[in-house]
Chain A
Amino acid sequence: MRTLDQLRPGMSARVVRLAARGAIGQRLSDMGFVEGTAVKLIRAAPLGDPLEVEIQDYLLSLRRAEAHLVEISDA
Chain B
Amino acid sequence: MLRSSVEDGSEPASRAGATNGAAHAPLRVAVVGNPNAGKSTLFNALTGLAQRVGNYPGVTVEKKSGVLEVAGRRIELIDLPGTYSLAAHSPDEMVAVDLLLGHVKGERAPDAVLAVVDASNLERNLYLLSQVVDLGLPVVVALNMSDVAERRGIHVDAEQLAARLGAPVVPTRANRGAGVDRLREALRAVADTRAPTRPPVAYALPDPLAQGVAALRSGVAAPVRAALGRDLHEFELLRALVDEEGHAEARLRALDGGVAEALAASRARARGPSTVPLSALEAQSRYRWIRQLVTGCVRRDERMPTTWTDRIDRVLTHKISGTLVFAGAMLVLFESIFAWAAPAQDALETAMGWVGGAIGAWMPEGALRSLLVDGVVGGVGSVVAFLPQILLLFLFLGILEDCGYMARAAFLMDKVMASVGLSGKSFIPMLSGFACAVPAVMATRVIENRRDRLATMLVTPLMTCSARLPVYAVMISAFVPQRSVLGGWVRLSALTLLSLYLLGIVTAVAMAFLLKRTLLRGPAPPFVMELPTYKVPSLRTLLQRLRERAVAFLARAGTVILAMSIVVWALAYFPHGERPAAAPTESHAAATTGAGAGEDVAARAAQLEGSALGRVGHALEPVFRPLGWDWRITVATLASFPAREVVVATLGTIFNLGDAEDDPEGLERALAKARRADGSPLFTLPVALSVMVFFALCCQCGATVATIRRETNSWGWAWFTFGYMTLLAYGASLLVFQGSRWFGA
User: Which A residues are within 8 Å of any B CB, using their own CB?
Assistant: 17-18, 21-35, 37, 42-43, 45-50, 52, 56-63, 66
Contact = CB atoms under 8 A, between A and B. Distances in A.
B280 A34 contact: yes
Contacts of B318: 46
B717 interface: no
A63 B524 CA distance: 12
A23 B525 contact: yes
Given A47-B415, A49-B414, A66 B527 contact: yes
A interface, by DSSP: helix, strand, loop or mixed?
Answer: mixed
B87 interface: yes
Nearest to B279: A26
18 contacts: A17-B276, A23-B246, A25-B277, A26-B89, A27-B526, A30-B84, A30-B85, A30-B127, A31-B528, A34-B280, A34-B283, A42-B313, A43-B313, A47-B414, A52-B317, A58-B530, A61-B410, A61-B411
Contact of A18 (B124, B280, B309): B280
B231 interface: no
A63 to B, nearest CB: 5
Contacts of A45: 317, 411-412, 414-415
Interface stretch (B53-61, B115-123, B564-572, B584-592): B115-123
Contacts of B528: 24, 27-28, 31, 60-62, 66
Given A50-B424, A59-B530, 15 more contacts: A22-B244, A23-B89, A29-B282, A30-B127, A31-B530, A32-B283, A42-B310, A43-B317, A56-B123, A56-B124, A57-B120, A60-B528, A61-B414, A61-B528, A62-B528
A34 B533 CA distance: 23
Contacts of B121: 56-58
B245 A22 contact: yes
Residue among B89, B120, B277 facing the most chain A CB atoms (10 A cut-off): B277
B526 A46 contact: no
A62 B418 CA distance: 12
B87 A30 contact: yes
Contacts of B89: 23, 26
A24 B526 contact: yes
A57 B154 contact: yes
Interface string B81-100: 00011010100000000000
Nearest to B410: A61
B72 interface: no
A62 B407 CA distance: 12
A47 B416 CA distance: 8
Given A45-B412, A62-B526, A29 B323 contact: no
Across the A-B interface, the 3 shortest Cβ-Cβ residue pairs: A29-B283, A26-B279, A30-B85
B284 A34 contact: yes
B679 interface: no
B531 A61 contact: yes
B526 A23 contact: yes
B69 to A, nearest CB: 36
B323 A60 contact: no
Contact of A32 (B124, B276, B279, B319): B124
Contacts of B744: none
Contacts of B244: 21-23, 26
A34 B277 contact: no
B414 to A, nearest CB: 5
A22 B243 CA distance: 7
Residue among A27, A29, A62 facing the most chain B CB atoms (10 A cut-off): A29
A49 to B, nearest CB: 5
Nearest to A67: B528
Contacts of A31: 84, 124, 528, 530
A61 B280 CA distance: 20
Interface string B497-533: 0000000000000000000000000010111111111
B9 interface: no
Contacts of B317: 43, 45-46, 52
A35 B120 CA distance: 22
Interface string B271-283: 0000011011011
B277 A18 contact: yes
A71 B84 CA distance: 22
B287 interface: yes
A1 B284 CA distance: 21
B322 interface: yes
Contacts of B282: 29
Nearest to A52: B531
B418 A63 contact: yes
B245 A23 contact: yes
Residue among A17, A24, A60, A61 facing the most chain B CB atoms (10 A cut-off): A61
A57 B282 CA distance: 21
Contacts of A23: 89, 244-246, 523, 525-526
Contacts of A37: 287
Contacts of B416: 47
A31 B531 CA distance: 13
Contacts of B87: 26, 30
Nearest to A57: B121
A58 B282 CA distance: 21
Contacts of A26: 85, 87, 89, 242-244, 246, 277, 279, 283
A53 B246 CA distance: 27
A18 B532 CA distance: 24
A46 B319 contact: yes
Contacts of B309: 59
Given A21-B277, A50-B411, A63-B527, A32 B123 contact: yes
Contacts of A63: 414, 418, 527
Given A57-B122, A62-B526, A25 B280 contact: yes
Contacts of B526: 23-24, 27-28, 62, 66
Contacts of A35: 284
